Amino acid sequence: MAKKKRDEMDSEPQVLNHSNGGSHEKKRKKKKNKTREKERKDLLVDDVITTPTVSIALPGSIIDNTQSFELATRLAGQIARAATIFRIDEVVVFDNQGKSLDDLQVTAKDTSDENESGTAFLMRILKYLETPQYLRKMLFPKHNSLRFVGLLPPLDAPHHLRKHEWAPYREGVTLMQQPPIPASTFVDVGLSKNVVIDQVLKPGTRVTVAMGTNRQLNDQPLQVVSSSKPKEEAGMYWGYKVRYAANISSVLKYCPYKGGYDYLIGTSEHGHIVKSSELELPSFRHLLIAFGGLAGLEECIEEDKNLKGKDPWEVFSTYLNICPHQGSRTIRTEEAVFISLQYFQEPIDRVLQSSK
């Protein structure tokens, strides 16, 4: 990307500024803290997650090493394809910031049309590609960072349904139009006719709708369910969530699952070498696989003041070199994601099969 874009990395995503003031300012901060605490509780989705999850974390700085918007878009598309192919539940994009920031204070949605940071750019592309094609126009306004997404291959995930396809669940977006039935909302689920749900939600909200077995699409209200329901009830992969973190410690601290990640894997050329067929993972509920940037995970840990001086073996449950004897001096992060997720597929499957 352009040098100007790289220079913006230090300031984007922007941190909301708090000025010094009197009692009014204190009250405002207290109110904001309560709001953030509520939002943090809302992020805890473990009460509806009963199946094991797999998350990946990678730095947004990998975008800043690209030479153009088109190459940056293709890189982001590779990450999205890898996450979908290997059924990843969550993608965490983190900054290499020395200071710890409250993730909920960071505005990752940059509304400007120029010089978007690598982190915000990567998150925007990942979210756009994960969204079903029939919802994108309503959920994503035109933006300079999206100008090359048409060049990317589609994810073709199970929830990216065509108009003629029927499934037990569909993703939809709530509409402003009011249905005749009280306490209900119209939802566009990508079919020839909008459906009605049995609750009132503000327009522009993305929801997962249980479609039932009646294909006639009458005015009978349908039910909104958790986005984890298709995976839990029908074993269907239903896309990934995208989350921002200020640094590695924030990746762990603000895990959206209650109890946090119970097994952490770091990947590095300096890690332990184990064959995929011989790797034994313990039973887990929420697994995290972390990737570094140009200088590896070691630099990410060193620049995090909460982890400074710590050995990677102290931060992660295991630290692995998944591609020993590499022919190139470097393996790019987008390449490492594909290689690693293929490497971990069999060990993870063994754990999931044994837990059934």
How do strand 185-188 and strand 169-174 relate by DSSP bridges?
antiparallel
Q: Is the backbone peptide bond immediately before 13 cis, with ω within 30 degrees of 0?
A: yes
- Taking only the tens place, the pLDDT of each residue in 138-186 is 999 999 999 999 999 999 999 999 998 999 999 999 999 988 888 899 9
Distance of CA 12 to the CA centre of its chain: 18
Q: Which of 87-91, 104-108, 330-334 has the lowest average pLDDT?
A: 104-108
Question: How far apart, in whole angstroms, are the C-alpha atoms of residue 109 and residue 126?
Answer: 13
User: Domain boundaries in the chain?
Assistant: 3-18+34-157+239-354, 169-234
- Taking only the tens place, the pLDDT of each residue in 195-249 is 999 999 999 999 999 998 878 777 789 999 999 999 999 999 999 999 999 999 9
Q: Which of 236, 6, 268 is nearest to 119 (CA)?
A: 6
Question: How far apart, in whole angstroms, are the C-alpha atoms of residue 175 and residue 203?
Answer: 5
Q: What is the pTM of this model?
A: 0.84
119, 63 Cβ separation under 8 angstroms: yes
Question: How far apart, in whole angstroms, are the C-alpha atoms of residue 252 and residue 234?
Answer: 29
User: With 50 as the cut, is the pLDDT of residue 10 above it?
Assistant: no
The whole-number pLDDT of residue 355 equals 76
Banded pLDDT at 113 (limits 50, 70, 90): low
Taking domain 3-18+34-157+239-354, whether its CATH number is 3.40.50.720 is answered by: no
Q: Between these two residues, 355 and 297, which has the higher pLDDT value?
A: 297
Percentage above 90 pLDDT, the chain:
64
Give CATH superfamily name and number for 169-234: Nucleic acid-binding proteins (2.40.50.140)
The whole-number pLDDT of residue 9 equals 38
Overall residue count recorded for the chain in this entry: 356
Output b/e per residue, 140-154; b: 16+ Cβ within 10 A: eeebebbebbeebee
- Taking only the tens place, the pLDDT of each residue in 308-330 is 778 899 999 999 999 998 899 88
- Taking only the tens place, the pLDDT of each residue in 171-184 is 999 999 988 888 89
Amino acid identity for residue 195 in this structure: V
> Concatenated DSSP letters for 140-187?
S---GGGTTGGGSPP---TTS--TT---SEEEEEE-SSPPSSSS-EEE
Half-sphere exposure (Cβ direction) of 196: Cα atoms closer than 13 Å: 15
The answer to whether the Cα torsion of 62, 64, 67, 70 is positive or negative is positive
Banded pLDDT at 30 (limits 50, 70, 90): low
Question: How far apart, in whole angstroms, are the C-alpha atoms of residue 84 and residue 99?
Answer: 32
Compute φ and ψ for 323, nearest 5 degrees: -140, 70
